[in-house]
Amino acid sequence: MYSLLFKSFFRTKIFLVSLVLLLTVGLISILIGKQYLVKQENTLIAAQEFQEESIKKNVMYHNDDLGLLLYYLRFTLAKKPSNINAVSIGQSDVNPLLQAVTIRGLEGQKYDTDFENPSLLMSGNLDLGFVVIYLFPLVLIAMTFNLYSEEKEWGTWRILAAQTSGKAAFLYKKLFVRVLFVFAVLILLMFMASAILQIPMNENFWALFLQSVLYLLFWSTLCFWVVSFLKSSSFNALALISIWVVLTILLPAVVNNYVLNKYQVPEALEAMVEQRDGYHEKWDMEKNVTMDGFLEAYPQFKKYPVPEDEFSWIWYYGMQHMGDLTARETSAEMMEKVMLRNKVSEKVALFVPTMHAQLSFNNLAGTDMVSHLGFLKELTKYHEKLRLDFYTKIFDNKPADSVDWSKYKVAYYTGKRNIDWVYLMLPTLLITVVIGALGAYRLRKL
């Protein structure tokens, strides 16, 4: 029976069209991911070269005034490149790969990012995750919507029913042949991605692989459930396409609009303005207003004098730090609201497999908002370490050549989160089992 079903399926036009479409678009998405990784690598190389050249030139011009030198010098923290990023680029095309900061106020620098083509950002990235979430379900719909209705409309169902003892079993086998083909293409593309993008087959890769398999199993079961109503081909096609639009476009858009309005985030510009106001207003205040707050945070610098009638670097950098403290509450509020948005989206996604798959892909690839917030937290620690490394030398009026500049290369941040296998697999699996059971129940008397 299976050999005949496979031969029959391989002779159809939908088989050839689906094979060419999935392999072509899948390979293109992998090559786009490769291009993305090359761009990342080139950016990091350019950042390292720029930092070395900048330090060299500025030291030459400001060797006698370390405080002035460090007013200009920027030091870079970058996310450690991970090749699995290319499978699901997520929000990494909006959030910066690296941040170059001075030791001045951080809040005015934290949200600097590169300009991107707005039309490209609107259309998104054709990565492999996009192909799995959007294209594969359409191919499944095209191959399964007429499993029963095709035979009924061609008048061959009565002949098949007379020749087989289990009519429902025949539909199961017919569905299995088509689903097996789709899964074979998915597995091929995943291993091609691993080879071409040089993705190690670690826990993250296998988690992403299993989530992809489970997601397509959900769509296979959903198609089977619609077919179980034994309606016409046109009804099945319209119903499945409508469900696809609702699950992949409409529901995610509604949820996104809800969380944006429910948890309105203060603009990053607001934190930047507060930082600058907090710094600039100190110019018109008594110096002790600045120094009291600064020395409370860093009592180890109390030994340095602060002249009332002239400029001093300890006072200047103290003002910069106090500006950051002024904006700290707004910055923390923004981080909290972004995390709330993410948590609400994750909870809703438990009941929407398309959203769950997208969020899981981004999470496993390290390209989601939570990963970026982790990077920003690390940037705060990095900035603190830089300031404390240099403050003593600045306040001691040391020359620039007293610093070992070879130590200050691009620093890397590697974010890692444990995989919650229950959250990753259970929601979609339960929905799939329920839908499959409903479909099997409807076909029990066929």
Closest to 37 (Cα-Cα) out of 193, 254, 156: 193
In a domain, 134, yes or no: yes
In a domain, 123, yes or no: no
Q: Give residue 218's identity as a one-letter amino acid code.
A: F
Q: Kindly list the averaged pLDDT for each block of 10 residues, start to end, along the chain of length 446.
A: 73 88 96 93 92 92 90 92 89 83 85 52 73 96 86 66 69 89 96 95 95 97 93 92 96 91 70 61 75 89 87 89 82 85 92 95 91 91 94 92 91 87 95 94 79
pLDDT reported for residue 88: 92
Q: Give residue 427's identity as a one-letter amino acid code.
A: P
pLDDT reported for residue 435: 96
Alpha-helical regions (H) of 109-202: 118-123, 128-130, 136-144, 149-154, 157-163, 167-196
Strand partners, 100: 76
Q: Do 304 and 395 contact (CB within 8 A), yes or no?
A: yes
Longest dimension (CA), the chain: 104
pLDDT reported for residue 120: 45
User: Which residues have a Cβ under 8 Å from the Cβ of 92 and sit 6 or more positions away?
Assistant: 85, 367, 372
Read off the pTM: 0.88
Strand partners, 101: 75
pLDDT reported for residue 117: 47
pLDDT reported for residue 73: 94
Number of domains in the chain: 1
In a domain, 108, yes or no: no
d(CA 435, CA 36): 38
In a domain, 214, yes or no: yes
CA dihedral sign of residues 220, 225, 227, 232:
negative
In a domain, 41, yes or no: no
pLDDT reported for residue 153: 65
DSSP E strands in 51-149: the ranges are 75-79, 98-101
d(CA 210, CA 195): 18
Q: Do 107 and 129 contact (CB within 8 A), yes or no?
A: no
Residue 75 belongs to what H/E stretch? Answer: strand 75-79
Provide the residue count of the chain: 446
User: Which DSSP state fits 285?
Assistant: S
In a domain, 352, yes or no: no
233-245 and 136-144 helices, crossing angle to 10°: 170
pLDDT reported for residue 280: 60
φ/ψ (deg, to 5) at 77: -115, 130
In a domain, 213, yes or no: yes
pLDDT reported for residue 261: 87
Residue span of the structural domain in which 212 resides? 2-25+128-261+425-442
In a domain, 379, yes or no: no
φ/ψ (deg, to 5) at 217: -65, -40
